[in-house]
Amino acid sequence: MRKSPGMKWRLLSIFIVIIFLSFFPSLLSVPSSKLLSIYTILMRNLALLLCAALSYQMYRVHKATEFKTISKYIFITFFFWVFSGLSWVFYYVLLGRIPLLSLADFFFFLGYLTLFTVFTKTIFFYRNFITRSDIVTSFFIWIFIFVLGVLFLTHLKIYSTLGFFKSIFISLYPVFDSMVIFLLLVLLFMYRKTKIELYLLVFTVSILVSSIGDIFLVYYSAYGIYYLGSFPDNTFLFCLLFIAFGFSVILKSKIVYFTTSPLPERDESSNPKFSLEKGKTYLFEEVEPRISIEAFYDLITHGVSGFALLRSNVEKTKKMLNLEKTPVLWFSSVEMNNTVSPSDLRKLTFIISEFIRKTKESVILIEGIEYLIVQNDFLSVLKILNGIGDLVVLTDSRLILTFNPYTLTEKEKALLERGFEVYKKESKE
């Protein structure tokens, strides 16, 4: 979604309002009072309810996509956190204060456990697509944050003031924050160059701000200066309002992170012209990708879901074939909504595997293998294609590869032809 100058100013204005609503008690040095306590409790609960409502809306929008698992668990997280906020109301009405260890903390940790579970599960599921650089970069960012937090906490010597049990308990907040931040960073780097990164970025920034607040909560508690509505509570309120703000922007932009369930373009009653068997990868050696595109079109108009990655003009191809349901991406280093970088082979494999997993019968067309080789190297491309070919075999899909035979050496052509089936014109019916 391209933002107009007016929209940018509106978003900036809302962000400034969020900062003011979250931090004005600290900025104005408002002392502890009944009014401040009521304001803090009400704003926290309103923010939690808003986040819960928006996260449920995110789940409804994406329940037919690959994003449904993450969105569902995030809604469950806020469901637990709403009960945590309501517990504050219960304790304040009953006792006039919020105990350091309470039912509110129990529900809060349940929410964190839910977050940790879904992000861990997602990383484990997509472990083959997470590069070493993703892990290393995330680790160094995380270790920097973690070491700073540990040095700060050890300097406080909180055991002598809070006691062993309370010290361990209150220290769990920043520890859990850091664990979730590490998982978010890994997912953020894995999903880079896909639209889901905006969602993860909002969550990462919010949890990072929350972790700063949790460290200050330890500090304020250790020195006996914490009161309801002080700086640690301000940071958590900002975290919630920022998440709600981010969710609303994402929903308004109508971003759908993955393509919807694959559908065939048509299902004509006539017999297909091309007899391409399930579970096989076919090589089309042609200077101009004509027969390969014809074979692809033949399948997607006979009940097979298709996905095309092209080097040629995408819009021209879609218009020529009158494609409405078939996703088509363009190999380009320019980041746009319908492009994929030819140098990011892992991301390419990830996108294709996501499509194949969502359909029982599919066909994938990859045009311009020689362009991938120029952007990378032959052996890397061959390895990736073999991996996709294995996935095609396991799922009874079909993979169509097209390349200009005059752009490769005889050895490279021989390696390709040995691994895949060369399409022969005489096999056309």
Question: Using H for helix, E for strand and C for coil, what is the string for 142-208?
Answer: HHHHHHHHHHHHHHHCCHHHHCHHHHHHHHHHHHHHHHHHHHHHHHHHHCCCCCHHHHHHHHHHHHH
Of 142-146, 232-236, 367-371, least confident by mean pLDDT is 142-146
**% of the chain with per-residue pLDDT over 70:** 82
Specify the higher pLDDT residue, 254 or 122: 122
Distance between CA atoms of 120 and 180, rounded to whole angstroms?
9
Asked if residue 1 has pLDDT above 50, the reply is: no
Distance between CA atoms of 340 and 332, rounded to whole angstroms?
6
Q: Quick one: tokens of 119?
A: 């992000």
Question: Using H for helix, E for strand and C for coil, what is the string for 27-41?
Answer: HCCCCCCHHHHHHHH
Distance between CA atoms of 370 and 403, rounded to whole angstroms?
6
Q: In CATH, what class is 280-427?
A: alpha beta
Q: Which of 428, 423, 419, 367 is nearest to 392 (CA)?
A: 419
Tens digits of residue pLDDT in 399-424 = 999 988 888 888 888 888 888 888 87
**How much is the pLDDT for 82?**
95
End-to-end CA gap in the chain: 45
Residue 264 bridge partners (DSSP): 305
**How much is the pLDDT for 78?**
92
Asked if residue 339 has pLDDT above 80, the reply is: no
What is the dihedral sign for C-alpha 309, 60, 249, 129? negative
Task: Report how far apart, in Å, the C-alpha atoms of 297 and of each of 52, 393, 426 are.
Answer: 44, 21, 19
Asked if residue 157 has pLDDT above 70, the reply is: no
Residue 281 bridge partners (DSSP): 399
Average pLDDT, stretch 332-344? Answer: 74
362 phi and psi, to 5 degrees?
Answer: -145, 165
Find the angle CA(217)-CA(219)-CA(220) to the nearest 5 degrees.
Answer: 65
Residue 364 bridge partners (DSSP): 307, 399
Of 74-78, 289-293, 402-406, 424-428, least confident by mean pLDDT is 424-428
Yes or no: say if 58 and 251 are a contact pair by the CB < 8 Å rule. yes
402 phi and psi, to 5 degrees?
Answer: -125, 140
Yes or no: say if 198 and 257 are a contact pair by the CB < 8 Å rule. no
Is 198 buried (19+), middle (13-18) or exposed (0-12) by CB count in 10 A? middle
**How much is the pLDDT for 45?**
94
Yes or no: say if 75 and 52 are a contact pair by the CB < 8 Å rule. yes
Distance between CA atoms of 61 and 256, rounded to whole angstroms?
8
Yes or no: say if 236 and 45 are a contact pair by the CB < 8 Å rule. no
Specify the higher pLDDT residue, 330 or 48: 48
Spacing of C-alpha 224 from chain mean position:
40
**How much is the pLDDT for 425?**
61
**How much is the pLDDT for 5?**
52
